[in-house]
Structure 1
Amino acid sequence: MAGPTTAERGERQQDSPGPLPLRRLSPRRARVLLALVLALVLCASGGVWVLYGSPWLRVRHVSVSGTRVLTPQQVREAADVPLGASLVSVDTDAIEARLRRELPRIRRVDAVRSWPHGIGLKVTERNPVLLVRKGGNFVEVDSEGVRFATVSDAPKGVPLLELTLSRAGSAAASLRRFDEDRLVREAVRVAGAVPAGVAQRTRAVKVRTYDAISLELGGGRSVLWGSAEDGRAKARVLTALMKAAPDARHFDVSVPTAPASSGS
């Protein structure tokens, strides 16, 4: 049987309804659609106004937690949070950067929104592991080798860092290779590796060169540590050596496979 002619196909296309989106809406449906669009626009506009323009979600207070040496007031002043600003518009990243810049004692800070009216500042302070004497004051050095604060009174239990750097002979060559900042970081590594029992008695960490670091203990005792390498092995050997020679005054663990003690 022959198929429909071209004329018949044309007639069918004219009789068939067009796609639904192109069909003409009834007045009632058009009104409903318009009302829905207006409602969505109003809701969006209202939401923006509530977040940015209304008096309901404004910064009214700033809370501070985690401080030890710093005071909450110092943190608030350095943070300079804009009271009265819309809470959603406060730049928390800028607050964190400003606090780290203005208060170097802060190692980390998290600024978080506390709905509906607050900003919370969670502070983590740096802890001193060594002190550098500077005139009549002390510069605190943390576990990353960062010199972060100058204080008039030395914190208890924190040893002094004494840099007695030689600039002659082989020591001068070592200093050219390892500058002062690097040597400070090496001293910090040593301080972190010293056994807890010995750390409590350590009065000073002395640095002459990269591989000539020593500990000054209370009671006139000393430990030649050497470089900061093999810290765990040196700590184990030192603990064993002090037990084996409890009356010795000088200990050498610079080569942990061949430790030595002397004096009594």
Structure 2
Amino acid sequence: MKSPLFEIKQVVIRGNLYLAEENIRTEADINMGINIFKINLAAVADKLKMMPMIKDARVTRVLPSTVLINVTERRPLGLLPVGNSFVEVDEEGICLQKAGSGVPGIPIITGIKVDAPGLGERVKAEHLEDALMMTSGLPDEVINKLSEVHVDQNGQIKAYTLDRIQCRLGEAVDIREKGVVLARILQEMQKQGAKVKYIDLTSVGKPVVKY
């Protein structure tokens, strides 16, 4: 316990894509130079899990002098308008952080009324679950082309591409199939250079393209 061999010399962080290492180090609050066996690993992990962006955290000792932090982050899936700004939410509807508009790869979710949620809280609103289910089920190549996902009061979902093509997706069913078909159609439209008004995938077996 008194050997300088076991004094902490470095903290290694893995798994973070969205959070800066410095923010995780600050929250973990591990002092360099203290004995590695004096660290309460579970307590450090619990503190990290209090951060809205972190879904899970594991803290381990790598003897003789390294503490390893593995984090599993929540993935921002959509932007919810709240007042004059936006908040990022993940697939479970957890409020992750405030954000400006136009975050690449994260469409704005409209048609849903929400009060200002606290960070780390689950946002509860009618049809939000449907919108998040649809968005999470679409392939990344489609999500990266979307600017907005709109859900109406009947649970019908429309997505809009960055080129303002309306994609009528209907209810949040057959999501994987709709995503595959939509990706193929968008790819083909791009190759052709065609101007499209809307793509209707309400019935995934009978897609309709309006030029």
Q: Distance in 2 between matches of 1:100 and 1:119?
A: 17
Match of 1:224 among 161, 168, 174: 168
Is the aligned partner of 1:205 residue 2:154? Answer: no
Is the aligned partner of 1:111 residue 2:59? Answer: yes
Is the aligned partner of 1:214 residue 2:158? Answer: yes
Matched-pair contact (CA < 8 Å) for 2:12–2:66? yes
Between Structure 1 and Structure 2, whose CA radius of gyration is higher?
1
| Correspondence list, 1:95-174, <5 A | 95-101=44-50, 103-152=51-100, 154-164=102-112
Q: Distance in 2 between matches of 1:230 and 1:257?
A: 10
Q: Match for residue 259 of structure 1? A: 207
Is the aligned partner of 1:188 residue 2:137? Answer: no
Q: Distance in 1 between matches of 2:89 and 2:2?
A: 46
Q: Give 2:57's aligned amino acid.
A: V
User: Given the superposition, is the C-alpha separation of residues 153 and 58 from structure 1 closer, same or farther in structure 2, using an over 3 Å criterion?
Assistant: farther
The structure carrying a bigger strand percent of its residues is 2
Match of 1:94 among 31, 34, 43: 43
User: Given the superposition, is the C-alpha separation of residues 234 and 60 from structure 1 closer, same or farther in structure 2, using an over 3 Å criterion?
Assistant: closer
User: Given the superposition, is the C-alpha separation of residues 53 and 197 from structure 1 closer, same or farther in structure 2, using an over 3 Å criterion?
Assistant: closer
User: Given the superposition, is the C-alpha separation of residues 197 and 247 from structure 1 closer, same or farther in structure 2, using an over 3 Å criterion?
Assistant: farther
The structure carrying a bigger helix percent of its residues is 1
User: Given the superposition, is the C-alpha separation of residues 225 and 104 from structure 1 closer, same or farther in structure 2, using an over 3 Å criterion?
Assistant: same
Q: Match for residue 119 of structure 2? A: none
Q: Distance in 2 between matches of 1:158 and 1:199?
A: 7
Cα deviation per residue 1:196-229 (whole Å; 9 max; x = unaligned)?
A: 5443321100112463111012333201111211
Cα deviation per residue 1:176-203 (whole Å; 9 max; x = unaligned)?
A: xxx9446333222212333554433211
Q: Give 2:44's aligned amino acid.
A: I
Q: State the Cα distance separating 1:131 from its structure 2 match.
A: 1.1
Matched-pair contact (CA < 8 Å) for 2:16–2:71? yes
| Correspondence list, 1:76-91, <5 A | 76-91=25-40
Q: Give 1:97's aligned amino acid.
A: D
Q: Match for residue 70 of structure 1? A: 19
Match of 2:6 among 47, 57, 72: 57
Matched-pair contact (CA < 8 Å) for 1:131–1:154? no
Q: Secondary structure at the match of 2:152?
A: strand
Q: Distance in 1 between matches of 2:53 and 2:141?
A: 27
Q: Give 2:21's aligned amino acid.
A: P
Q: State the Cα distance separating 1:142 from its structure 2 match.
A: 2.1
Number of equivalenced pairs: 198
Q: Secondary structure at the match of 1:158?
A: coil
Q: State the Cα distance separating 1:154 from its structure 2 match.
A: 4.0
Q: Secondary structure at the match of 1:219?
A: coil
Q: Give 1:215's aligned amino acid.
A: A
**TM score, norm. by length of structure 1:** 0.63
Matched-pair contact (CA < 8 Å) for 1:206–1:213? yes
